Structure 1
Amino acid sequence: MKKVVITGGPCSGKTTLINILSEKGYYVIGEIARKVLIERKNNELNKNEFSIRQTIMAERQIAKEKELETRKGKLVIFDRSLIDILAYCRYFDINPPKVIDNINLSKNYDFVFILDLLPFEKDEVRIENEEDVLTIHNLIYGIYKNLGYNIIQVPVMDIEKRINFIEDFLKKWG
């Protein structure tokens, strides 16, 4: 199975892009984090809650990736990955979930697309401000880079051009 990650900070257009790729027939795994944030939106925001959320996200991501191991030879596109959880743990100044301790994150994904940030927009789930968004984006980029991933940066352009950019790369890749 070939695993491709599409990521970036909040407000980078990931969800819209992932939804279009899904509509075009690509096998995509939506962002697990958003579902967890919605489920736990009434909980008090503190370090313990952030830690609980990241652990739930990691457990669900690991379970989803294990489910997909039977898709050998097929392309799977992820909206974020376990590595993003590490970035958010750094951002919230909490320890990473123990469930990812024994996973070799430097060899887990074949390609990583990091979307450049779009203009900031607040929504019902997002708690970050514009400065936070940039910090998170830089943490995500830095952790993927430090783990040795070749990052394909997707510049700001209209959505169709972003889709074409990614599809052109995927076609060249195989």
Structure 2
Amino acid sequence: MPKFVITGASGAGKSTLIAALAAQGYATVPEAGRQIVAEQVARQGSALPWLDQAAFMDLLFARSIAAFDHTASTAEGCVFFDRSFLEAIAYGAVIARPAPEAMLQAAHERRFANPVFVCPPWREIFAQDRERQHDFRFARTDYAANIETYAAAGYELVEVPRAAVSERVAFIQQRLGDLSGRQPSNPAGKR
């Protein structure tokens, strides 16, 4: 079962793209970071990027690893992840907290399929909200760290064009078809 990850800048349409892929019948895994922030805010916790960055990084990594491992035993067909545990490692670079060796080892033992799909910074659709309190400048910094981390881990990076979500889905499906040497299959027979 190939596991693909969609990474890139925050506010660049990754979650919208993941939702569109799910609507096409693909298995998807939502972004752990936004879930963590929503949970922490709801219970007035401190593992938040604007309160306790180290605790947020650790929780993000643990939750992302658990999602990867759980999906390995339950999903059929290809799966798309909205970000991954590698983002936690990249976040460590952003906050000047090197990833612990155990984190690096756990990430090394788990691999996504190539390519990694990258949503570049997209100013026109970027928006702050309750879970995304940082600005576009930070989104660009985070993006650069993510790209560097995936490249250093040996992944092939493919940039998803800034286009309508239907075009982005078609781009990914075409790329999957190119990988398999045939036209991409529609997993649920949807159009």
TM-score normalised by structure 1 residue count? 0.89
Q: Deviations over 1:76-106 (max 9, x none)?
A: 1100011111111111222425652322538
SS at match of 1:57: helix
Aligned to 1:40: 40
Report the residue type matching 2:119 in the other structure.
L
Shift of 1:155: 2.0
Shift of 1:7: 0.9
SS at match of 1:103: helix
Q: Which moved more, 1:70-79 or 1:125-134?
A: 70-79
* Cα distance in structure 1, aligned partners of 2:148 and 2:53: 21
Shift of 1:43: 4.1
Q: Deviations over 1:35-60 (max 9, x none)?
A: 10111133456787211122112112
* Cα distance in structure 2, aligned partners of 1:40 and 1:71: 27
Equivalent of residue 120 in structure 2, options 116, 137, 142: 116
Query: Using a 3 Å threshold, how does the CA distance of structure 1 residues 151 and 58 change in structure 2: closer, same or farther?
Result: same
Equivalent of residue 91 in structure 2, options 85, 88, 92: 88
Query: Using a 3 Å threshold, how does the CA distance of structure 1 residues 106 and 117 change in structure 2: closer, same or farther?
Result: farther
Supply the RMSD in Å over aligned alpha carbons.
2.2
Aligned to 1:163: 169
Please tell me whether the aligned partners of residues 106 and 147 of structure 1 are also in contact (alpha carbons under 8 angstroms): no
* Cα distance in structure 2, aligned partners of 1:99 and 1:67: 19
Aligned to 1:17: 17
TM-score normalised by structure 2 residue count? 0.82
Match status 1:145 vs 2:148 = no
Q: Which moved more, 1:52-61 or 1:6-15?
A: 52-61
Report the residue type matching 1:173 in the other structure.
L
* Cα distance in structure 1, aligned partners of 2:30 and 2:75: 20
Report the residue type matching 1:78 in the other structure.
F
Shift of 1:66: 1.6
Query: Using a 3 Å threshold, how does the CA distance of structure 1 residues 147 and 59 change in structure 2: closer, same or farther?
Result: same
Match status 1:76 vs 2:66 = no
SS at match of 2:158: strand
* Cα distance in structure 2, aligned partners of 1:173 and 1:71: 23
Report the residue type matching 1:148 in the other structure.
G
Q: State the number of aligned residues.
A: 174
* Cα distance in structure 2, aligned partners of 1:33 and 1:72: 21
Match status 1:172 vs 2:184 = no
Query: Aligned ranges for residues 50-61 of structure 1 at < 5 Å?
Result: 50-61=53-64
